[in-house]
Structures are given as structure tokens and as C-alpha cells.
Amino acid sequence: MANQDSSSGKAPADRRTFLKIGAGVIAGAAVATVVEVPYYSSVLGGKNNDSSSTVSSLQSQLSQTSSQLQSAQGQVSSLTEQLGSSQQALTSANSQLASATSQLSSVSTQLSSTQQALTSANGQVSSLSGQVSTLNTQVSSLNSAVTSANSQVSALETQIDTMTGFLTLSTTEQTMLAAIAETIIPTDSNGPGANEAGVVYFIDRVLSGDYGKNGNVYMQGQFVQSGLSGPVTVEGVTYSGGTPVQRVTAATRYQYQMSIREFFRYGLAALESYANTAYGGDFEKLSAANQMAALQDLWNNKPTSFAGIKPVDFAYELTMLVWSGFLMDPLYGGNRNMVGWQYVGFNGVNTGNFYGEGYTAKQLMVSTTPIPLRPASLAQLQKGGA
């Protein structure tokens, strides 16, 4: 079936011409038939009776032709309507096709944009993968460096342990003094304690040297312990004034006939015996709370029998040596890695530029805010730098 003209809704010119020609042919046939009837009537005028049947036959044919013409016109009209309906359906289909084409074009554009974004994302992923690979290589290198450093530290620690044995403390005294030092300066959230500073090694060296042998300490008697009252006779001279002041710290008024090394030996043994009697176990095996309580008992002179030593005198000496081992220069065996100085913020012999900080002594003195400096030891100074 031919399409309608999409702009006017009418049948194309060639089909209209065809319809017109067909209608003319049918009409011409009808007119010719009508004209023939009088002609035959005039020709056959006298033969009415004979030709009546012929006329009737012609009239019947004319009637049939007219009916056929009307039927053909109806069919033409129906075909015209069907053609119009088909043209509308075709127009609608064309509109839908145009819409579908537009949507397809939009989808194609979006697909192209998505493909471009995907390509860009793939490029970024590839770049990130390269970066991750590089970082993994760096991490592997750093892990190797850390492993190497740990090996060096382990070797140094082994060397230190080999070089820093004990000179005078027994195995029992070592363990007990380490527990006492940790009780006085514990390792906690504030920082390292006495054990990290190697305090027990400091005490061992102090007691094995001049201090433990009462070097530069007057040891000829008379020995007057603190707390005595009434007259005191020294080398035949009687003194009646006052009560002796208690101050054993640093042996400035040490009033015992035994050496300080013996003072510690007897004092540690007496404390161990007191810990078992009062708290049910060796000092180093007690809970932290009971260890602290036992030391407080010394400060309060609570033990009634303590190897001829006043418990508070031993408490003074213990505390003084523990803090000295935590805060003195590492040269003397304690304050390892200068953890004690770092804890209290002391810079040792670093006066502002030991590690290249660039400060002068004047700048440090006039600064309105404290300037923290990394500590340096006497041994580092002797070696000429960090």
C-alpha cells in the first residue's frame, strides 16, 4: 500500500490520477449504455415486440453495472479510509522511531562518556598500583634496615651485658636491690624506671669503690647514732647538749663502725628477714603494694630488730643511692641511655649546640620559654661530640 504524503495527509498525485481514470472509465461505460438504449429503440422501433426482451436484458445489465459501480466506489472509499489509517500508524511509528533514535544517541553518548571515565580510572588504578609497589619496596627496605638495626642493638646489648657484670653484689643482693630500686622509681606511663636506667649496676660500682670502703669518711669513733639523748662521751670528753641530728644520706654523718658495704650487706639481709616475718615472703617476691609498705616501715623505724642498724638510716641510704643511679652521669654506670635526664628534662653537658641545635648560652638564659635540649654525657664530651 502506498504511503500518504506526510505533510498534507493526502494521497500522492499518481494515485489520485489512477483513481480519477478508473472512475471516468466506469462512468463512461454507464453513459454509453444509457445512450445506446434510445438508439436501439429507434433502430428497432417497429420491432418492439421482438426487441422487448433485448431491451430488458440491456436494462438489467445496466442496473448490474450501476450496482457494480457503486460497489467499486464503496471499495475505493474503504481503501481510502484504510490508507489514511495506515498513514497515521506509519506517522506514529516514524515518531516512535525518531524518539528511539534520539534515546539511542543519548545512550551512546553516555556510554562513550562512561568508557572515557573507565579508561581514566584504569589509568589511575595503574598509577596507584605502581605507587603501592614502590611503597612496598620502600617498606621492605625499611624492614631490612630495622632488622639490621635491631641486630646491632642486640649485639650492643650483649656487649654491654658482657662488660657490665657485678663487682661486689651477690646474686641475691642483685635481685633484691633491683626490686627495691623499681619500687622507689617504677616503670609506668610517665616513663622508664630504675631498672631501665641500670641503677643496680651503679649501686654495685659505688659499693665496690671508695664509697663502699668508707673512703674520705671519718671512722675512728666514737659513733653516735641519731636519736640518742643525754650526755655523750667521746674520747673521754662528755657532751651534754642536745639530741644528735639524723642525717645518714651520702655518709655525711655516718655513725656506724662497719663499712658502708657491710652496712648494705647487713641491711639487705635484715630487710629480707623482715619481709618474710611481716609480709610472708622474700621482698623481691612480694606484691608491689607490700614492697612499698615494707619500705615505708623502714622510714617509720617499725622493725624492732634490724642487724644493729636503725631502719630509717638504711632507708635514707637506699633512697639516696637509687636516685643517684637514676640521675648521675652514665659515666658512673647508671642512667643508661640518659633515660633519667630525659625524664626530668636535664641536658647534661649540652649547652645549646652539642648536636648542632644552634643555641648559645645567652639565648638559653634570656629565653622566655624553656628550650628542651637533647642530653649529652661526659663520655660524649670526652670523645669530642655526639
Which tens digits make up the pLDDT trace of 37-86?
A: 454 445 445 555 556 788 788 888 888 888 888 888 888 888 888 888 88
Domain boundaries, the chain: 13-132, 168-346
Report the 3 state secondary structure along 184-243. HCCCECCECCCCCCCHHHHHHHHHHCCCCCCCCCCCCCCCCCCCCCCCEEECCEEECCCC
Kindly report, residue by residue over 276-314, the tens digit of the pLDDT.
Answer: 999 999 999 999 999 999 999 999 999 999 999 999 989
- pLDDT reading at 6 higher than 70: no
Banded model confidence at residue 161, pLDDT cuts 50, 70, 90: low
Question: How far from 172 is each of 184, 272, 306, 384, CA to CA, in Å?
Answer: 19, 10, 18, 40
C-alpha cell, 346:
636535664
Mean pLDDT of 88-117: 85
CA distance 222 to 256: 9
Mean of pLDDT over the chain? 81
33 vs 115 pLDDT, higher one: 115
C-alpha cell, 377:
654525657
pLDDT at res. 11: 46
Asked if 168 and 208 count as a contact pair (C-beta separation under 8 A), the reply is yes
pLDDT at res. 163: 58
pLDDT at res. 52: 74
Banded model confidence at residue 132, pLDDT cuts 50, 70, 90: confident
CA distance 269 to 266: 5
CA distance 373 to 178: 30
221 vs 111 pLDDT, higher one: 111
